[in-house]
Amino acid sequence: MSLRSPRAQRGFSLLEVLVAFAIMALSLAVLYRTSGGSVRAVADAENYERAVRTARSVLALQDGVPESGLFMEGVDGGMRWQMRTAAYPLPPLPGPAVPLHRVDVEVRFGDPEHPRSVVLSSLLPQLRPPPGAPR
């Protein structure tokens, strides 16, 4: 039978356990914050991509612009969009030229406290009035 001295059966002190728990808590907090930021960034990227698709879809709906211009707005899946047009100045060209209009589509998304927006611009031809229509 062997007798062990009390020093040989020594375990962790309360202070060592508290320090270990504090280090573990800090590590978990940093990991949680990092993963939360990554999830937020992915969600932001998905919303941005959806807004760009919405703007492209609105642009694709128009083949041309009437002489008076256009203003349209709507909501698609929680995203508000607006389309505005304005005559685009052309330099003097020899011969007839098709008048162009600048088309801007703005899509707003995100929470009301931190709204974000995407603007796509394009040029579209002016639609010719039907024959016999007053100008």
- pLDDT recorded at residue 88: 92
- pLDDT recorded at residue 65: 92
Q: Which CATH architecture has domain 14-91+99-125?
A: 2-Layer Sandwich (3.30)
CA-CA-CA-CA dihedral for 45, 48, 49, 52, to nearest 10: -160
pLDDT at 18 over 70: yes
DSSP three-state, residue 22: helix
- pLDDT recorded at residue 56: 94
pTM value surpassing 0.75: no
Please tell me what DSSP assigns to residue 81.
Answer: E
**Residue position matching structure tokens 């607006």:** 82
- pLDDT recorded at residue 4: 58
Q: Where are the domains of the chain?
A: 14-91+99-125
pLDDT at 34 over 90: no
- Phi, psi (degrees; rounded to nearest 5) at 68: -75, -10
Q: Which residue type occupies 15?
A: L
Q: Cα separation of 8 and 88, whole Å?
A: 90
- pLDDT recorded at residue 134: 63
- pLDDT recorded at residue 84: 96
- pLDDT recorded at residue 101: 94
